[in-house]
């Protein structure tokens, strides 16, 4: 094995595996290596992989913290905030962190995989300048779409398998702003659409709540979307030129709500990291990310779009 990144920095590595045995052959040495150095080790994997790892680790499993990636990373925009909190907590205690995170697991929907790609790019931006730690992201080379595994080469500075570890030549730093500014896929059919301005916050959230109810969503989801609508409309009114447009539609698996305005967000991590208590901005977006199934945020000098997806 070659050390490809100075050990002081953030090492973000994609580990490609084929099958359970290969998955374990790649991960067990990584995890045990961390435990041997007395590093804090946290594993975020979907449930079946979590169980597989826990069993294989045997007695060592007790020293490892496990999180269900399907839960904490259901909306990938929540994952960076989770790592940032864990990193802060262990850095304060003087311990190095070693993480395993598989956000792009098999079975995820196309829109979720798109958000995983943006998330992986933003990880570098979020942690490159901070304290050193290692994050290994397993990718299932057998079952994921080829575009996803190929994409991982461009989002991780290091690529590895159970047998080799190399710099990823497809990776270049600083591409996250391009990804953050990309257009989202076209809207579905039968779009309901309307504009809002100052004074329309209450009307906007009532319209959204009514639509959500008419889609047959349960009341707790309706309440969350009503809150999301209020926060996103407020953001447009305050920062997006005084107003914007809201669009609502259904596709075969989800109710989709989209807010657009003419504003530009300069910080691509907005809503991903928990804002400080004394900061007014970013609180609503952070909350929307935490409460909603999937949030797709894109911003460029062409404007800002937030798509909130609620799965049926």
Q: Which residues bind another protein (CB under 8 A)?
A: 199, 201-202, 205, 220, 223-224, 226-227, 230-231, 234, 237-238, 274, 277, 280, 283-284, 286-287, 290-291
Residue in this structure with the two tokens 């407020």, named with its chain if needed = 234
Instruction: Name which of 96 and 205 has its Cβ closer to another protein.
Output: 205
The two tokens of residue 130 are 């901070």
Instruction: Name which of 36 and 219 has its Cβ closer to another protein.
Output: 219
The radius of gyration of the chain from alpha carbons, rounded to an integer in Å, stands at 20
Instruction: Name which of 159 and 205 has its Cβ closer to another protein.
Output: 205
Least distance (Å) from another protein to the CB of residue 102? Answer: 24
CA neighbor of 304 nearest in space, from 247, 254, 244 = 244
Least distance (Å) from another protein to the CB of residue 221? Answer: 11
**By CB neighbour count within 10 A (0-12 exposed, 13-18 middle, 19+ buried), where does 248 fall?**
buried
- Give the helix, strand, coil percentages of the chain, each rounded to 5: 45, 25, 35
Cα three-residue angle 155-271-120, rounded to 5 degrees: 10
Least distance (Å) from another protein to the CB of residue 268? Answer: 21
Least distance (Å) from another protein to the CB of residue 309? Answer: 19
Least distance (Å) from another protein to the CB of residue 205? Answer: 7
| SS3 category, 124 | helix
Helix ranges restricted to H, the chain: 20-36, 47-57, 69-72, 79-92, 110-127, 146-155, 176-181, 201-214, 219-239, 283-291
Instruction: Name which of 31 and 209 has its Cβ closer to another protein.
Output: 209
Instruction: Name which of 166 and 202 has its Cβ closer to another protein.
Output: 202
- Residue 277's Cβ-side half-sphere holds a number of Cα atoms within 13 Å equal to 0
Least distance (Å) from another protein to the CB of residue 241? Answer: 16
| SS3 category, 11 | strand
Instruction: Name which of 227 and 265 has its Cβ closer to another protein.
Output: 227
Instruction: Name which of 95 and 239 has its Cβ closer to another protein.
Output: 239
CA neighbor of 291 nearest in space, from 312, 264, 271 = 271
Least distance (Å) from another protein to the CB of residue 261? Answer: 15
């Amino acid at each position: 094995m070659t050390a490809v990144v100075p050990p002081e920095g953030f090492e973000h590595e994609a580990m490609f595996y084929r099958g359970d045995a290969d998955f374990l052959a790649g991960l067990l040495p990584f995890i045990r290596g961390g435990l041997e150095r007395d590093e804090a080790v946290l594993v975020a994997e979907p449930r079946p992989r979590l169980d597989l790892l826990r069993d294989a680790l045997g007695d060592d499993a007790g020293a490892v913290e496990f999180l269900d990636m399907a839960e904490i990373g259901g909306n990938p925009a929540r994952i960076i905030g989770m790592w940032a909190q864990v990193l802060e907590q262990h850095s304060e205690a003087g311990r190095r962190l070693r993480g395993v995170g598989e956000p792009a697991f098999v079975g995820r929907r196309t829109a979720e995989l798109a958000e995983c790609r943006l998330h992986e790019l933003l990880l570098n931006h979020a942690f490159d300048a901070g304290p050193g730690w290692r994050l290994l992201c397993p990718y299932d080379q057998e079952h994921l779409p080829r575009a996803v595994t190929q994409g991982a080469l461009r989002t991780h500075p290091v690529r590895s398998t159970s047998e080799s570890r190399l710099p990823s030549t497809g990776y270049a730093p600083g591409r996250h702003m391009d990804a953050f500014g990309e257009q989202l896929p076209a809207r579905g059919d039968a779009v309901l659409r309307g504009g809002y301005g100052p004074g329309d916050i209450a009307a906007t959230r009532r319209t959204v709540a009514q639509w959500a109810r008419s889609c047959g969503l349960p009341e707790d989801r309706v309440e969350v979307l009503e809150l999301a609508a209020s926060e996103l409309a407020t953001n447009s009114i305050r920062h997006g030129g005084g107003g914007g447009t809201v669009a609502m539609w259904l596709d075969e698996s989800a109710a989709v709500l989209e807010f657009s305005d003419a504003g530009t967000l300069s910080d691509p991590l907005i809503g991903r990291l928990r804002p400080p208590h004394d900061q007014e901005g970013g609180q609503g977006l952070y909350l929307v990310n935490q409460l909603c199934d999937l949030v797709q945020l894109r911003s460029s000098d062409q404007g800002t779009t937030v798509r909130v997806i609620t799965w049926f």
